[in-house]
Amino acid sequence: MYKLKIYLFLLLTIVTSLVYAQNPTATTKILVMGDSLSAGYGIDVEQGWVSLLEEELTKNHAVQIINASVSGETSSGGNTRLPALLAEHNPDIVILELGGNDGLRGQPLKLLEKNLQSMIDASKKNEAKVLLAGMQIPPNYGARYSNQFKELYPKLAKQNQLGLIPFLLEGIGGNDTLVQRDGIHPTAEAQPLIVKNVLPELEKLLP
């Protein structure tokens, strides 16, 4: 019996080694669920931060990014679409970049929190890691609402033990030279800065 166990162990080791030799670096699938900030509004898709991020990551990692971002998307829309996307792509990592449109429309923060939590739960149930992109809205929506909106993202990240990008547009928001005429959407020149904001937190989740 002892010799049989040794034989089976050696056989399993050999088979595992052969499988690894054939596929030493499995591709990591990353699903981006975002709004116009991630969909590349007002610029060519190739200039957007999601495309630039994939270019940067493939230098050292085997990754595939599925950009499921839609301009004008709210957390409610993302929550509705996510289950089908998880089933179709089975991602290893989900980047949630939603909530900006909820805030700009003054929607209840309880609804935003509920939708984001639902997407976090669905992603985890599908065995995907989650990276939450923190967002902020202008102070003219009222200090209380703006502050509570800003604090919602680190709150969810802490409660769910998620990776967090503190503020997706750090170094961009408020800089007129990096924002399009609408005063909201980043220019093509700002996209590499977004990559710099995302990359350090995303790399923590990569194999």
Q: Could you give the CA distance from residue 19 to residue 157 in angstroms, rounded to a whole number?
A: 36
| Alpha carbon distances (Å) from 199 to 12, 104, 114 | 37, 26, 27
Structural tokens at position 51:
């495309």
Which residues on adjacent β-strands are paired with residue 30?
Answer: 65, 93
Question: Residue 85 is encoded by which pair of tokens?
Answer: 């996307």
Catalytic site includes residue 176 = no
- Annotated active-site residue in 69, 102, 123, 185: 185
Q: Which of 200, 161, 185, 187 is nearest to 100 (CA)?
A: 185
Closest C-alpha to 34, from 90, 96, 79, 80: 96
User: Which residue among the candidates 36, 38, 75, 123 is catalytic per the annotation?
Assistant: 36
List the one residue out of 205, 117, 100, 113 whose CA is nearest residue 160: 117
| Active site annotation includes 76 | no
- Residue 185 falls in the annotated catalytic set: yes
Distance (Å, rounded) from C-alpha 179 to C-alpha 175? 7
Which amino acid is located at 69 in the chain?
S
Cα(125)–Cα(139) distance, integer angstroms: 36
Catalytic residues: 36, 182, 185
